[in-house]
Chains A and B, each alone.
Chain A
C-alpha cells in the first residue's frame, strides 16, 4: 500500500536517511524503532513531503508520490501526526479539527466527522472551545491524532505518540490507536523510542540505526531477537544491575 524504495534524504550535507526501503500493507500497524537521531522522524517527513528525498521512490497504492508536495500527498490519503504534536496552539480545539479537514472537498460531511472524533476522544468534546495550547499533554496528543484523522487518511504516520506522557495516559492513547486501526481499518506507520510499547501494538517492525534499516520482521520475531532485547528492551541490563 505504502512503499519506500531506497530512499536517501539529506539536511544540507547531513545524510540523515541512507537507502531506506520499507512498506506498510493495508490494515497493518508497522513500527519503526530506534534511538535518538536514528532518522525515524526524517523518514516520516520524507513520506509526507515536508522533505524531498535526494533519490529513491515512494509509492502509495499505484501512485508515485515521490515528487508531490505535502498538500497533494495528504489528499492521496497519507496523514501525519508529527513529533511534538505541533498543534495550532492559539486556536481552539474545534478550529484545529476544522483545519485538519482543510484539504477536503466534501465540506458538508465535516461536521459528522467532528462528531465521530468526539466519540472516539470524548475529552475533545468537553474542551471544544478551549485554546489548544492550554490542553494537557495527553489531550494535545489526542487532538493531534483527531486533527490528522479529519483529512480521512488511509495511512497514518504517528511520530512518538507517547512522548512525555505518563504511563497511564500512554496506555489510553495506545488503546485509541488500536481502536482506529481495528475500527477504521487504518494502516499505520508508528515511530517510537519505547520499543516495548510499539512492538506490543504493531504487526511488523523495522529497526533504524544511523539512517539505515538494520533489522526487520514480525513483532514476535523482533521481540525474540537478542540484539533488540539488549539494545531496546533493556533485558540483560536488568540482570546485570539488579
Chain B
C-alpha cells in the first residue's frame, strides 16, 4: 500500500515537476508568473489527441502536441508579456490570468466542453516492485520526465546558450552588454517551459485517457504550488517541489481522506512555507 502510493505519487509528481519547471524558469528570467502554464499543458494534450484522431500516427501526434504547446508559449511571450515589460509586476500577472481564461475558452470553442479520450490502446503490462504494481505507462512517464529534466539541466549548465539564459536571469542589462540578445533568451525560455508542459499534458492525456478544456486548471495550480514549495526561480526546487507535492497528496489521500486529495497539495505547501518561507531550495535575494 505504502509503496503503491509512493509510486502513484511520484508519477503525478513528475507531471507537476514538468509544469513547475515552466513556472520557475519564466519567473527566474522575467520575474513574472505565467498563470497560463496549465493551458499550455492542455493545448499539448489537445494537439496530440486531435492529430492522433485524424492520422492515427503516434509520432505525428507527439509532434503536434509539442508544436501546439510551443506555439501557445511563444504567442504568450510575444503578445501577453513582451508589450508589458517595464510595467508594474501586477500588470503582466493580470495579463497572464486573462490569457489563461482566453485559452481555455478557445479550447472549449474548438474542442467542445466534453472529455475526449485518447484514442489509443497502450500496453497494460504491469511490473511488481516491493509489492507495488507499476504500469508500463507509469514507467514511461517517470522515464520521459527524468530524461527531459536531465536534458534541461545539461542545456542550462553546459551549453553556451543555456549559460546565456542563466546570465539573462541573473542580470539582464549586464547580459545585453555582453552581446546576449535578451528577447531571444526570453523566447527560448518560453519554448523550453512550454515544451515541458506540453509533454506533461500529453502524458496525462494518455494516463487518464481524457482531455478536456479545464484539464490544465488543477495541475497548473498544483505545479505553481510546487514551484513555490521548491523555491521559485530554482530549477532543482521545482523538481523536488513537484515530487514532494505528488507524494504528499497521494499518501494523504490513502491514509487520511481521499475526499481531500486535492487539498493535501496545498496543505503541504502551507506547512513547508511556515517552516521555510523561501521554499525548499529558495535563496535569499
A positions within 8 Å CB-CB of B = 48-50, 69-71, 74-75, 79-80, 82, 86-91, 95, 98-100, 102-104, 147-148, 151
Given contacts A86-B171, A89-B170, A90-B170, contact A95 B163 (CB under 8 A): yes
| A-B pairs with beta carbons under 8 A, tally | 67
20 A-B contacts, Cβ less than 8 Å apart?
A: A50-B176, A70-B176, A71-B180, A71-B181, A74-B179, A79-B177, A86-B174, A86-B177, A87-B171, A88-B166, A88-B167, A90-B166, A91-B163, A91-B170, A99-B164, A99-B167, A99-B175, A99-B180, A100-B178, A148-B177
Chain A residues with CB under 8 Å of B174's CB are 82, 86-88
Contact check, A86 vs B173: say whether CB atoms are below 8 A apart.
yes
Q: CB-nearest residue of chain B relative to A132?
A: B170
Chain A residues with CB under 8 Å of B171's CB are 86-89
Given contacts A90-B166, A99-B163, contact A74 B173 (CB under 8 A): no
- A49 vs B179: C-alpha distance in the bound complex, in angstroms? 11
Contact check, B166 vs A50: say whether CB atoms are below 8 A apart.
no
- A79 vs B177: C-alpha distance in the bound complex, in angstroms? 7
Contact check, B177 vs A102: say whether CB atoms are below 8 A apart.
no
Contact check, B173 vs A91: say whether CB atoms are below 8 A apart.
no
Q: CB-nearest residue of chain B relative to A100?
A: B178
Minimum C-beta distance from A178 to chain B (A) = 23
Minimum C-beta distance from B161 to chain A (A) = 9
Give 10 A-B pairs besides A70-B176, A88-B175, A103-B180 with Cβ atoms closer than 8 angstroms: A49-B176, A69-B176, A82-B173, A88-B171, A90-B166, A98-B160, A99-B164, A99-B175, A102-B164, A102-B178
Minimum C-beta distance from A225 to chain B (A) = 33
Contact with A along B175-192 (1 / 0, CB 8 A): 111111100000000000
Contact check, A74 vs B178: say whether CB atoms are below 8 A apart.
yes
Contact check, A75 vs B163: say whether CB atoms are below 8 A apart.
no
Chain B residues with CB under 8 Å of A98's CB are 160, 163
Partner of B177, one of A48, A89, A91: A48
Minimum C-beta distance from B88 to chain A (A) = 14
Contact check, B167 vs A91: say whether CB atoms are below 8 A apart.
yes
Given contacts A98-B160, A102-B160, contact A74 B177 (CB under 8 A): yes
Given contacts A98-B160, A99-B164, A102-B160, contact A147 B178 (CB under 8 A): yes
Q: CB-nearest residue of chain B relative to A86?
A: B174
Chain B residues with CB under 8 Å of A75's CB are 179
Given contacts A86-B171, A88-B167, A95-B163, contact A103 B179 (CB under 8 A): yes
Scan residues 4-56 of chain B and give those whose CB is less than 8 A from a CB of chain A: none
- A73 vs B179: C-alpha distance in the bound complex, in angstroms? 9
Minimum C-beta distance from B27 to chain A (A) = 15
Minimum C-beta distance from A160 to chain B (A) = 15
- A80 vs B173: C-alpha distance in the bound complex, in angstroms? 11
Contact check, A99 vs B178: say whether CB atoms are below 8 A apart.
yes
Scan residues 126-182 of chain B and give those whose CB is less than 8 A from a CB of chain A: 160, 163-164, 166-167, 170-171, 173-181
Contact check, A71 vs B179: say whether CB atoms are below 8 A apart.
yes
Chain B residues with CB under 8 Å of A80's CB are 177
Minimum C-beta distance from B284 to chain A (A) = 13
Chain A residues with CB under 8 Å of B177's CB are 48, 50, 70, 74, 79-80, 82, 86, 148
Chain B residues with CB under 8 Å of A104's CB are 179
Contact check, A91 vs B166: say whether CB atoms are below 8 A apart.
yes
Minimum C-beta distance from A131 to chain B (A) = 11
Q: CB-nearest residue of chain B relative to A157?
A: B177
Chain B residues with CB under 8 Å of A87's CB are 171, 174
